[in-house]
Chain A
Amino acid sequence: MSEADQPAIEARGLVKRYGRITAVDEVDLTVSPGDVYGYLGPNGAGKTTTLRMALGLIRPDAGSVKLFGRDPLLEGIRALEGVAGFVEAPRFYPYLNGRCNLELVAALDGDGAATRIDEALDIVELSDRARDRVGGYSHGMRQRLGIAGALLRDPKLLILDEPATGLDPAGMRDMRLLIRRLADEGMTVLLSSHLMAEVEELCDRVVILGRGRVRYEGSLDELIATTGGRYELRTTDDDRAAQIATVQPGIGDVTRAGARGLTFTADEPAATALSVALGEAGVGIAALVPRTATLEELFLRMTEDDAGLRDGGLHAALAEQPVEVRA
C-alpha cells in the first residue's frame, strides 16, 4: 500500500498507563485521508494522551499508532512528515516575537517552511502583531499563532486540540471557516473539541472517548440517525391531526406536546403518507420535522457516567433543554 493509500491515523490497541490509572485503554481508531474527524470526550477521557502518542511525544505502553503508515515510535520525526498541529494550547517562546517564533519552527522544519510565514500570518490575521513579543499575546492570538505554525509544515494531516478555546465568537467562526476550507482543499483534520456545535458543523466522522475507552467511532450522521425515527408535527388542528395519525399505518406513539403540536414515531414513507392524509382531511401542516438528538445529548449520554455527573444538575438541565429539531 502506498503512503497515499494509508490511513492518515491508524491506532490499534493503544494503551497508556500512569501508575494505576489507565489513561488510554485499548483505543482503536482510523482516520482516513480527507476525513474531518471529531475527537470527543470529557476532561480526563484520554484525548490529549492519545494525541501525544500520535505525535510521538509519549510512548504507548501497548499498541501502536501510525501516521500514513509510519509509527512515530519506530520512525521518529519521519513519521511526522506531512503532519502538523498542536496538543493542548500551542506554546511559543514568550520572549520572542510572533514572527521570530514562526521563523524558529520553520527553521526546525526546513523544506522551505520559512517561505510560508507571511502567508500563514495573513491567514490567521496576525501580520500586524507579528513583531510583538508572544508574551504579550492573548490566548486567542496564541491559538492563531499555533495554527500559523502548523500551516508552515504544509500538512496533509492537521491535528488540532481545542483550537477554538479562548477565541471570541467571531474568532471561533473564522476558525471554523478556516478548518472547513482546509478540509475542502483535501486536508485531513483531527479535531479534538468540547464544542459540539463546532464538531457537528465540521466533522463527518467522530470518536467519542470515555474513561480512556472508545464509546463510539464512526459516521456522525449514522450516530445522529440512531436516535431518528421520531417526528414533530404542528398543524392547523392538532386534535384532528392526532386522530388521523393514530389510525394511519406505520405511525406509532402519537403524543400531544402542548404548544409544540404532537410527536410520533414513523419511518420516512409513513410520515410522507401521513402528510398526504392530513392534506386530504383539510388539516394544514405548519411543520413536519424529524426530531433527532443533538450530538451534545448523545455525547452526554455516552460519557456523563464517566464525569460523575449522574447525580448532578446536568440531567435536569438536559431534560429541560429544548430538543433541537433537525430538518
Chain B
Amino acid sequence: MSAGAGAVSAPRVARPSRKRPSVVTVYRWELRKLRAQKRTYLGLGAAALVPMIFVIALLSSSGGPDEVPFGNLVRETGLAVPLVGLLFSSVWLFPLITALVAGDIVAAEDNHGTLKTILTRSTERWQIFVAKLLAALSYTFVALVIFVAVGLLAGCAFWGFDPLTSLSGTPISPGRGMALIAASTLAYFVPMMAITAVAFLLSTVTHNSAAAVVGTLILSFVMQLLAIMSGLDWMRPYLLSEQFDAWQGLLRDPVDWTPIGHAVWVSALYAVPAVAWAFVSFVRRDVAD
C-alpha cells in the first residue's frame, strides 16, 4: 500500500446529507450480480434446453401427449408446442428454476458475508429488499419468456406457423395465437410470482441457499401431491400448483377470465404473506455473521 500516495480528503465538518441511491440503482446492481453467477445461466439454460428436448422427443417418436390440452396439436402447429410445454413444466421445472435464484438471492449474501458490506453503505434495508425481490421476479420472468420463445421457435421450425384450435374447438389465427401465447405467459407468471415469493422468504429466513431451494421444491411437490388426493378435492382450488393451468381460460372462445382472476387472488394469498414475512425478517434482523 502506498501510505504516502495521493491524498484522501477527510472532511472535518458536518456536510449536507448524501444523495442516496434509488431502488432502481440497487436493482440494476442485483441484476448485474445475477449476470455474474453461474446458477443464473444454469436456470436460464434449463429454460432453453427443456423445450428443445421436448421437440426432439416429439420428432423421434410418433406418439404424442394426447391426454393434455393442445397435446393433439403439437405436430400440426408450432404454436401448440410452448403451451404443452407450460403444462408439463409446472410440476418441477419452473419451481426449480425459480428457486435456484429466488432461494439464493438473500441467502447468498449470508453465505458470502456480504450483507454487512451492503447494509453499512447509504442504502436503506427496504431498498435492498425491494431490489432483490424485483431482481428475483425479473429472472423468473426472463426464464419463462425464454422457455416459451424457444418452444415457439423450435415448434414453428418443425411444424409450421399454422392456426391453432381453441379449447372450445374454434380456429385461432396464427397472429391471434401469438397474442394469446403472450397473454398465457403472463397468466402463467402469476403463480410463478408466488413461488418466487415463497423461495425468497425461505432464502431470507433460513439464510441458507440449499435449504431455500429444497424447501421450495418440497412445497411444490407437496401441493402436487395434495392435488391428486381424492379426499382433498375441496383444497384443490386453493393450491398454488393448480393455478398454473389458469392460462387455459384465455384459449377458450369466448375467453374465460374466471380462472385467471382466481389464480390472481390465490397466488396473492401465498405471495403477500410470504413477502411481508420476508420483509419484516430482513429489515429487523441482526446481521451477526
Partner-B contacts on A (CB < 8 A): 2-4, 33, 49, 52, 55-59, 68, 76-78, 80-82, 84-96, 100, 104-105, 107-111, 116, 119-120, 122-125, 144, 147, 149, 151, 153-156, 171, 174-178, 180-182, 185-187
Contact = CB atoms under 8 A, between A and B. Distances in A.
Given A122-B6, A174-B1, A180-B3, A92 B122 contact: no
A4 B14 contact: yes
Contacts of A122: 2, 5-6
Contacts of B287: 52, 57-58
B10 A108 contact: no
B117 A109 contact: no
B33 A93 contact: yes
A111 B117 contact: no
Interface residues of B, number: 45
Interface stretch (B20-28, B49-57, B215-223): B20-28
A174 B2 contact: yes
Contacts of B20: 77, 110-111
A87 to B, nearest CB: 6
A24 B15 CA distance: 32
A107 B9 contact: no
Contacts of B36: 93, 95-96, 100
- Secondary structure of the B side of the interface? loop
Interface string B271-289: 0000000000000001110
Contact of B12 (A90, A105, A181, A186): A186
B124 to A, nearest CB: 6
A108 B15 contact: no
B1 A4 contact: no
Contact of B114 (A56, A91, A100, A120): A91
A90 B7 CA distance: 23
B123 interface: yes
A137 to B, nearest CB: 13
Given A111-B19, A177-B3, A57 B10 contact: no
B157 interface: no
B118 interface: yes
A244 B228 CA distance: 104
Nearest to B122: A109
Nearest to B128: A108
Contacts of B38: 95
A90 B120 CA distance: 12
A53 to B, nearest CB: 9
Contacts of A100: 32, 36
A3 B14 contact: yes
A119 B6 contact: yes
A110 B1 contact: no
Nearest to B9: A154
**Looking at A84, A91, A156, A187, which has the most chain B CB atoms within 10 Å of its CB?**
A91
Nearest to B131: A108
